[in-house]
Amino acid sequence: MLTFYDSKGLPNPDRVRIALEEKRVMDQVIVKQVDLWKGEHRTEAFKALNPSVTIPLIVLDDGTAISETTAITEYIDHTYPGISLTGRTPKERAVIHMMQRRGEQQIVDAIGAYFHHATPGFGPEIELNQNKAWGEAHLAKTLEGMRYFNDVLEQQPFIAGDGFSMADITVFTGLEFSETYPKVMVPVECTALLAWRARIGARQSCQGLTR
Ligand SMILES: N[C@@H](CCC(=O)N[C@@H](CS)C(=O)NCC(=O)O)C(=O)O
């Protein structure tokens, strides 16, 4: 059975959990919750599995450990039948990849930099190299990203076009984290983004994300 090192309520592991839920395979997975506030990812045992010291991580039956969210979700999408999350044709795959990368850069990673550098983040024992100016710059980047995705969703129903994909999951989890932890809200004028978020949030896979 696949083992999934999770940390509920954080965007990158949430992306993996939603992908597993979309594939309806949570019952085929062993889930291990890792408390990042307690530094449980900084142990030597975890570092041996993932030298990047980040969650999510999956470990396959043969012992192969895979980190990096997009690598994990590619594995999940190609291992289990059902809905396609990363695209079927070369064009779909490229567009989803591109939009997902924009979602990471402009929302997930940007709000993460704000959280880690300009707020207490995971606390003083974990946040050892804070740079407030760097964090504040990423707050501005996040808000710019929200406006960019609002513009995208004024033109099309989903982040990567006509169908639901990993790109939706990525942006959705970034917004959930943003509003739950550093409390950065989607601007009210971003009506297309807010309407899309309500639609995505109604999916069964997206229920109960907070810790
Ligand atoms: N590039 C990695 C980033 C993963 C990442 O940063 N995960 C966060 C949780 S959302 C984490 O583990 N942070 C640990 C820390 O900041 O010490 C991926 O795509 O999986």
Query: In which domain, by residue range, is 14 found?
Result: 2-79
Whether 174 and 96 share a structural domain: yes
CATH number for the domain spanning 135: value is 1.20.1050.10
Q: Which residues, 6+ apart, have CB-to-CB distance to 62 below 8 Å?
A: none
What pLDDT does residue 18 have?
98
Whether 105 and 179 share a structural domain: yes
pLDDT digits (tens, 9 = 90+) for 35-81: 998 999 999 999 999 999 999 999 999 999 999 999 999 999 999 99
What pLDDT does residue 211 have?
59
Whether 10 and 60 share a structural domain: yes
**Distance from Cα 138 to the centre of ligand 1, integer Å:** 16
Name the percent of the chain lying above pLDDT 70.
Answer: 99
Query: For residue 174, what is the DSSP state?
Result: H
- Ligand 1 nearest-atom number relative to CA 116: 16
**Distance from Cα 18 to the centre of ligand 1, integer Å:** 16
Which two three-digit tokens encode residue 179?
Answer: 């509003």
**Top mutation candidate among 55, 107, 181 for ligand 1, by most atoms within 8 Å of CB:** 55
Q: Which residues, 6+ apart, have CB-to-CB distance to 36 below 8 Å?
A: 7, 10, 55, 122, 126
Whether 133 and 165 share a structural domain: yes
Whether 57 and 134 share a structural domain: no
In a domain, 15, yes or no: yes
Whether 95 and 13 share a structural domain: no
Distance between CA atoms of 173 and 14, rounded to whole angstroms? 6
**Distance from Cα 155 to the centre of ligand 1, integer Å:** 31
- Ligand 1 nearest-atom number relative to CA 7: 9
Per-residue confidence at 209, pLDDT binned at 50, 70, 90? confident
Task: Count how many domains the chain has.
Answer: 2
Ligand 1 neighbours (beta carbon < 6 A): 10-12, 36, 41, 54-56, 67-69, 126
In a domain, 188, yes or no: yes
Q: What is the mean pLDDT of the chain?
A: 96
Whether 100 and 152 share a structural domain: yes
Residue 172 confidence (pLDDT) above 80: yes
- Ligand 1 nearest-atom number relative to CA 14: 10
Return the C-alpha torsion angle 27, 77, 178, 136, nearest 10: 140
